[in-house]
Structure 1
Amino acid sequence: MMIKIQQGREEINSNGGIILTGALLRLNGWEKIDRMQGQRIKHGEIGHRDILKIAAALLALGRNDFADVDLYRNDPLFKEALNLRKIPSAETLRQRLNDLGLCNAEQTLTDDCLVEFLRKVNDFGKIQTRYAQYIPLDIDVSVMLQPNCKKEGVSWTYHNENGYAPIFCHIGTNGYMLANELRPGSQHSAKGAVEFVKRCLESARRIGLSMEKLLVRVDSGHDDSRFIGTLYDSGVNFIVKHNLRSENREQYLALAKRCGEKFPSRDGKDIYRCILSHCKPDGLEDKPLFLVVEVTRRQTDADGQPLLLPELEVSTWWTNLPESEAICIELYRAHATSEQFHSELKSDMGLERLPSGKFATNALILNLAALAYNCLRRIGQEALTRKEIWPVKIDVTRRRLRSVLQDLIYVGCKFTRHANVFIVKFGRHCPWFKCFREVYAKC
């Protein structure tokens, strides 16, 4: 059978999920940005809110290039979904984002919108232990490689390649992003970390979360007395990986043997754990903090082959949790899940390489990416709550953003108008129609 290819007159769209994103981006916080005045800020025919909404919507479609906006300039569904009067050219979008980036020196321009968005989230995902329930707040630096370019702020990172070293804060086990900040690649993790964590905790307060329920988890790059003191004074729970630097590992082994407990493991491998109350960060000696210690001594490898010299591995964490050492260690190791959240932002949303040569513009785009990321995350989580209408049975607690894009964003539809009503029609055999309709009702 021969197949003919023709172009019809119907409005057929391959990214029907933009109406979900458009519904989630209806935020009052845009109005404050729209009223913003500045020497280099010009409205033109398109307001600031529309410029930022368009950029966020493109990121939610997995498109991070300024030229990608030209693909949607004649798309009526894109315009109606975002309630736009006009869609700018790629050149105009670039210029306006450059200007708005100059007003985002502290990278807080979109914080009001993020807080407003997250207030509508019903479940961030909690961790339940024997004694308490926690909402994790994971803060971490993740490198965004930018090889073979001369973009402003790109420098040598700890991955031994050129790039940026942004810091991210994710809230809950479902992976919503609370804040982010673009940083030069050579900037140390601890530089500006206190100011960033204060900003994150203030956003959490504005969302309505109790400080006593938050559990802040950070790696050894933030092992700093000032940082830990800030967490303690804020009233949150925390686990901070301790940087041993030049401390004596053998001394920790002796302490763990004397004060702690030996945990079962394979032959030739001994694990000791303990909690020390006399060890405190400098300047915080009067605070009720603890040092959780885990010492692993290996005399044989995994295959049972004896080692010439025993291997000694020591891990320690500062905490104020009223939990056992095993629970504290388990809670910290769950912090590694945030690496997957970074991966979804960079690979699934195609944001590994930022589009502009200007640092301020890239910082603004990364802030907008947090909104786009949260839109996709919310769509995925809302879909999961309706497992009875899914086309296939699944047993997961969180959907990867790539799956959300493939199943619910890039879904084909037909766009029509009748009696001043815009109608989006899906195919007769579309497997995601019921799920899509239910999710849209919740957006």
Structure 2
Amino acid sequence: MARFDLKQSTKLQLTSYAGLALIGQCCQAAQVETVIDPKLPVSQGMRTSDVVKAMVGLLTLGKSDFEAIEPFRRDSFFKEALGLSKVPGSVWTRQRLDAKAAQLREWTDELSLRLLSRTDAPITPHEGFVCLDLDTFVMNNDGSKKEAVGRTYQGVDGYTPIAAYLGNEGWNIGLELRPGVQHSALETEYFLERIFPRAERLVAPDQAVRVRDDSGFDSARLLFAKAEEKARWAALGRSFDFITKWNPRKQDKEAWVARAEAHDAFTETRPGKRVALLSVAVERAWGKAQRGFRLIVRVTERTIDKRGQHLWVPDIELEGWWTSLDRPADEVIGLYKHHGTHEQFHSEIKSDLDLERLPSGKFDTNDCLLHLAAFAYNCLRLLGQLGLTGEIAPIRHPAKRRRIKTVLQEIMYRAAKFVAHARKLVLDFGRGVAAHVDVFMQLQTRLQAVLSG
């Protein structure tokens, strides 16, 4: 085995995260300084935008702890790539976010909207609709004493944040922290009030939008909110629809079987199993108002299980979907199935961005970090969609969307020599990485066009 002599150069400056140069340009495209500094001015010391960009830089490297900033304080590339006047320390970052969290999170969502709109980020539809997927997910913070940590629906102590993803790419247009014990539907109408205008702003007027959410959001109040939003969009000459999974709690299963038999709706799919699809109009009440909604119900009755075992008592399964669509029932069910794709986006936020366990003991600070994480997630998603899915992609297998982990490996963690000379900043990638250099050049050209436009 070869033996290597180890050497540390005093002049050569290398970086193993050259992708930060592109994140800095994403911050410029999103106009971080223009959005943040006028709203949160400081009389002395570091600008709030510097703290925001430094934290976003860490998150796009998959680091969420405040202490992770310390190795970068003497790193000139980190400072230059993100356009910082000074790299904040961990204590300064924590204290500033603690003090400004409530005000800061109000403006961080605007960063994502400006990034996506100013870069003309692709927002592709699924079967004629731009999908807006809503869901909550669990962040396991077992064994901690952080504020608002509680027992979640998965049986672990943690948080249950709510997220909204737009288009097949999964752009995050809403990510908010919630206490672990909070029910999915509780106060969600306020979340909808915030995300619907964002979808309206980002989606082209000639494209139809479809909201999809699971049975945790089956409440009359939320159905009324979506129906009112549909009417508002219709007044603007735009198309808006929704599919919400039905929660068949307290339903009489035998009564639904009898109803399906009365309508002669059952079809035998195999010996011992029959399925019926029903489309019914249901009156729902909220406050003093009543409104009719379409409910699609699938009734499945099994007298023989899949292994051929005869059952003493028939096994009856109920599934249902509230919808504003007038399409056939089987098409509506097919359109809802694609909703499961968003589960990958949750895992990318928790694992790829290292946000399963949040770093602060204060709820507001952790909520602010999640808002910043949404912007960091969108920056990485943008680099992946523009640089790793087309003809210039160095990855051989085709894909409609690259996951955040792939963007970290192929772009963010790319090594280079950093040179600052004659008022120029240079990244030298060396030999054997021509395909990755092409990606960097294409992405930089796209982002620079926004800045010069």
User: What is the identity, as a one-letter code, of the residue corresponding to 2:316?
Assistant: L
Residue in 2 aligned with 1:397? 400
Superposed displacement of residue 88, structure 1: 1.0
For the 8 Å contact 1:14–1:413, the answer to whether it is kept is yes
- Tell me the secondary structure at the aligned position of residue 131 of structure 2: strand
- Partner residue, 1:147: 142
Q: Which residue of 2 aligns with 1:52?
A: 52
Question: 1:429 Cα shift?
Answer: 0.7
State the distance in 2 between where 1:210 and 1:194 align: 24
* 1:227 maps to which of 222, 226, 230: 222
Aligned to 1:270: 274
Residues 32-64 of structure 1, C-alpha deviations (whole Å, 9 max, x = no match):
421235xxx855331111111111111011000
What displacement does 1:16 show? 0.5
Aligned counterparts of 1:177 and 1:318: Cα–Cα separation in 2: 24
Find 2:26's aligned residue among 24, 27, 30.
24
Normalising by structure 2, we get a TM-score of: 0.90
Q: Secondary structure at the match of 2:211?
A: strand
Deviations 1:150-182 (CA, angstroms, capped at 9, x unpaired): 011111111111101111111111111011111
d(CA) in 2 for partners of 1:217, 1:287 = 20
| Aligned counterparts of 2:398 and 2:257: Cα–Cα separation in 1 | 42
The 5 Å alignment of 1:414-429 reads: 414-429=417-432
**Would the aligned equivalents of 1:134 and 1:215 in 2 still touch at CA under 8 Å?**
yes
Question: Aligned letter for 1:249?
Answer: K
Contact 1:413 1:427 in 2 (8 A): yes
Deviates more, 1:364-373 or 1:117-126: 117-126
> By how many angstroms is 1:243 displaced?
1.6
Q: Does 1:432 align with 2:427?
A: no
Secondary structure at the aligned position of 2:359 is classed as coil
Give the structure 2 partner of residue 358 of structure 1.
362
The range that moved more, 72-81 or 428-437, is 428-437
Q: CA deviation at 1:83?
A: 0.9
Contact 1:260 1:274 in 2 (8 A): no
Structure 2 counterpart of 1:204, one-letter code:
A
Equivalent residue, structure 2, for 1:122: 121
Aligned partner (choices 13, 16, 24) of residue 14 of structure 1: 16
Aligned length: 432
Q: Bigger shift: 239-248 or 59-68? A: 239-248
CA distance in 2, matches of 1:121, 1:310: 54
Residue 108, structure 1, aligned to residue 106, structure 2: yes
Give the 3-state SS of the residue equivalent to 1:239 in structure 2. Answer: strand
Q: Is the 8 A contact 2:297 2:321 kept in 1?
A: yes
Decide whether aligned partners of structure 1 residues 419 and 30 sit closer, same or farther in structure 2, where only a CA change above 3 A counts. closer
Alignment of 1:408 with 2:406, yes or no, is no
Q: Which amino acid aligns with 2:360?
A: S
Q: CA deviation at 1:394?
A: 1.3
- Check the 8 A contact 1:217/1:335 in 2, yes or no: yes
CA distance in 2, matches of 1:290, 1:163: 36
Q: Say if 2:150 and 2:158, in contact at 8 Å, map to a contact too.
A: yes
Deviates further, 372-381 or 211-220: 211-220
Distance of 2:111 and 2:335 partners within structure 1: 30
2:34 matched to 1:36?
A: no
Distance 1:153 1:137 in 2: 28
Q: Which moved more, 1:423-432 or 1:186-195?
A: 423-432
The separation in 2 between residues aligned to 1:264 and 1:61, in whole angstroms, is: 53
1:173 pairs with one of 162, 168, 171 = 168
Task: Name the SS of the counterpart of 1:350 in structure 2.
Answer: coil
Q: Distance in 2 between matches of 1:89 and 1:345?
A: 24
Render the CA deviation track for 1:184-203: whole Å, top value 9, x for unaligned: 11111111100101110022
Distance in 1 between the 2:308 and 2:149 partners?
A: 46
Residue 206 of structure 1 is aligned with which of 195, 201, 206?
A: 201
Is the 1:205–1:211 contact (alpha carbons within 8 Å) kept by the matching residues of 2? Answer: no
Distance 2:148 2:167 in 1: 31
Aligned to 1:282: 285
Quick check: 1:88 aligned with 2:97?
A: no
Distance 1:266 1:382, change over 3 A: farther
- Please, what is the CA RMSD of the aligned residues? 2.0
Q: Cα distance 1:392–1:384, how it changes in 2: closer, same or farther (>3 A)?
A: closer
Q: Distance in 2 between matches of 1:234 and 1:303?
A: 47
Aligned partners of 1:307 and 1:142: how far apart in 2?
Answer: 36
Pair 32,153 (structure 1): closer, same or farther in 2 beyond 3 Å: same
Q: Aligned to 1:320, which of 324, 327, 330?
A: 324
State the shift of 1:261 in Å: 4.4
Q: Secondary structure at the match of 1:289?
A: strand
Q: Which runs of structure 2 are paired with 1:59-98 in the superposition (5 Å)?
A: 59-98=59-98
Matched-pair contact (CA < 8 Å) for 2:284–2:292: no
Unaligned 5+ runs, structure 1: none
Alpha-carbon distance change, 381 to 151 in structure 1, aligned in 2, over 3 angstroms: same
Cα pair 2:18 2:413 within 8 Å, conserved: yes
Moved more, 190-199 or 286-295: 286-295
**CA offset digits 1:275-311 (Å, max 9, x no partner):** 113x232259964631111111122222222223221
Distance 2:269 2:289 in 1: 34
Q: CA–CA distance in 2 between the matches of 1:222 and 1:169?
A: 13
Gap change, CA 1:285 and 1:244, over 3 Å in 2:
farther
Contact 2:54/2:88 (8 A) holds in 1: no
Report Cα offsets for 1:61-115 as digits up to 9, x if no partner: 10000011112112222111111111011111111111111425xx433122121
Identity value in percent: 35
